[in-house]
Amino acid sequence: MPNKYFYINTIGCQMNVYDSEQIAARLVGLGYQQTGVLEVADLVIVNTCTIRAKAEQKAFSFLGRLANLKIKNPGLIIGVGGCVAQQEGEKILRRVPHIDLVFGTQAIDRLSLLIPKIESKRCRVVDVGLTEKPVRPAARPDRRPDGLVSTFVTIMRGCDNFCTYCVVPHVRGREVSRHPDRIMEEIRGLVQSGVKEVTLLGQNVNSYGKKEGLCSFPELLARVNSIEGLQRIRFTTSHPKDFGSSLIDALKTNEKVCDHIHLPVQSGSDRILNRMNRKYTRELYLDKIAELKDTCPGIAITSDFIVGFPGETEADFNETLGLMEIVKFDGLFAFVYSDRPNAPAVQFKNKISEAVKKKRLQTLLELQENFTRMKNQALVGCVQPILVEGTSKKQFSGSINHPQSAVQWTGRTSTNKIVNFYHNDNPQSGADIFSGKIVLTKIEKAYAHSLWGKPVEVKSATGGRKGEESYAA
Ligand code: 5AD
Ligand code: SF4
């Protein structure tokens, strides 16, 4: 049988990256091999995202470009999966005539039936069934992530929160958690194959296990913390309404849990938070941040913001800027509000003009730049334990002042800041001397989005308590 190749384009969040692995495993099971070269593929899958209008446009523009490939190779099968597929369903077949398959967020397991059907009958297939009954997330397919230092592990899927701007509950279905034993098995397997850091993934990890009566998220963290050989644990995303003392304690007591939390606030105005259906107030958010900073000094806090939500006044926006001044986030993601189909805010009046949204976004990002710089600058002169992820794309090949070429390495602090450093080993040797190791690095320079350091000491595989190795030099 001739070799058959598949190519996957993954757009959007880490959940999609994880899903793409699952898709890939099903395709391998059908006798396909993965390729990074689009032109040689017999099957192209686009795993799409619809969280904001831009992500959806990206998917359709990629799909449009596949028309030429299909003309050159009429046997090519093109499939669209993920959130746009779930949202648009059959409409995609009408909009993009060269597509063969539309499969929703809960149809990945059925690919093993859908693809052979298309192969044999050359028909067009749509499978976007979304049950209200939660569908348990499948375990990660067996694979050996060669050389992978850090990876994601889905602990739950879907969302029950129904923020009024958000499409996720409509395209991903209701919240459902994986059994902790399955999660532990998966992480143990990953650690055996060399992974040192996992990021536990869920739309709202704070409500992990609640519905099913499994263990709580802090209990899960304690269990994962006990896995020998695992160095670091991260998690995302936490909803502020469910974030509280027990998770704050877990951050403090579990030495492998990193000093970083992503706690999306979206707005600093109570009026807007209420219209967003976020179920917390500005005061409550700030109280939780205060408790967090009190219990875990040095923790890095990042957030998400939406500017220009329908009805957002200058006064509301100023409340957001005021909240930023109080919290001083280490970093943030900010988005201009975009209408999403099925999300209730589509119907809200007083939409904000694109020009005002853009201006507010710029103001917010400029303010944040100061805080990010300040936080990064504060680390200069300190020694930080870095988990090295590998060599950096940018390499140094020598200069007049520094004739020896050097390998540039990259890793992260426990607080999730990227640190790059050189080491004068022989780049030709190809020896991977740092990947997966904790390297104590003296921070020498702070940039807008990364730090520059100098290695001081390489720690053994089992690090000590988090932050303990960190000291001001
Ligand atoms: N418009 C703009 N931003 C959005 N987000 C979610 N939905 C929208 C929308 N309709 C942002 C939120 C969320 C992040 C993942 O994407 O800030 O936390
Ligand atoms: Fe969307 Fe809100 Fe659920 Fe997050 S918590 S996925 S913003 S509905």
What pLDDT, on a 0 to 100 scale, did the predictor assign at position 467?
44
- How far apart, in whole angstroms, are the C-alpha atoms of residue 31 and residue 8? 15
What pLDDT, on a 0 to 100 scale, did the predictor assign at position 391?
84
Run means of pLDDT, 10 residues per run, the chain, 473 residues = 90 92 93 96 96 94 95 95 95 95 93 95 91 58 70 93 95 93 95 95 95 95 98 96 96 98 98 98 98 96 98 98 98 96 95 98 97 96 94 63 69 96 64 84 94 84 45 38
| Ligand 1 centroid distance, CA of 241 (Å) | 17
| Ligand 1 centroid distance, CA of 246 (Å) | 27
Helix axes 282-295 and 314-327, enclosed angle (nearest 10): 10
- Best mutation site among 87, 105, 171, 203 for ligand 2 pocket (most ligand atoms within 8 Å of CB): 203
**Helix, strand, or coil (residue 330):** coil
- How far apart, in whole angstroms, are the C-alpha atoms of residue 166 and residue 105? 16
- How far apart, in whole angstroms, are the C-alpha atoms of residue 395 and residue 376? 23
Asked whether the beta carbons of 160 and 207 are under 8 A apart, the reply is yes
> Which residue is closest in CA terms to ligand 2's atom 5?
161
Joined tokens for residue 252: 């403090």
| Ligand 2 centroid distance, CA of 14 (Å) | 15
Question: Ligand 1 pocket: which residues have CB below 6 Å?
Answer: 51-52, 165-166, 264, 266, 304, 306, 335, 337-338, 340
For 60-114, how does the pLDDT look when each residue is reduced to its tens digit (9 = 90+)?
999 999 999 999 999 999 999 999 999 999 999 999 999 999 999 999 989 999 9
H helix intervals, 48-173: 53-72, 82-88, 91-95, 111-121, 168-172
Phi, psi of 420 (to 5 degrees): -110, 150
Asked whether the beta carbons of 320 and 368 are under 8 A apart, the reply is no
- How many residues comprise the chain? 473
- Best mutation site among 306, 312, 352, 368 for ligand 1 pocket (most ligand atoms within 8 Å of CB): 306
| Ligand 1 centroid distance, CA of 238 (Å) | 14
- How far apart, in whole angstroms, are the C-alpha atoms of residue 283 and residue 320? 12
Query: What is the Rg, in whole angstroms, of the alpha carbon atoms belonging to the chain?
Result: 23
H helix intervals, 328-444: 354-377
What pLDDT, on a 0 to 100 scale, did the predictor assign at position 393?
66
Q: Tell me the ligand closest to 165's alpha carbon.
A: 1
Q: Tell me the ligand closest to 243's alpha carbon.
A: 2
- How far apart, in whole angstroms, are the C-alpha atoms of residue 132 and residue 170? 10
- How far apart, in whole angstroms, are the C-alpha atoms of residue 4 and residue 26? 14
DSSP designation for 237? -
| Ligand 1 centroid distance, CA of 10 (Å) | 18
Asked whether the beta carbons of 311 and 137 are under 8 A apart, the reply is no
What pLDDT, on a 0 to 100 scale, did the predictor assign at position 398?
55
What pLDDT, on a 0 to 100 scale, did the predictor assign at position 144?
53
Q: Tell me the ligand closest to 304's alpha carbon.
A: 1
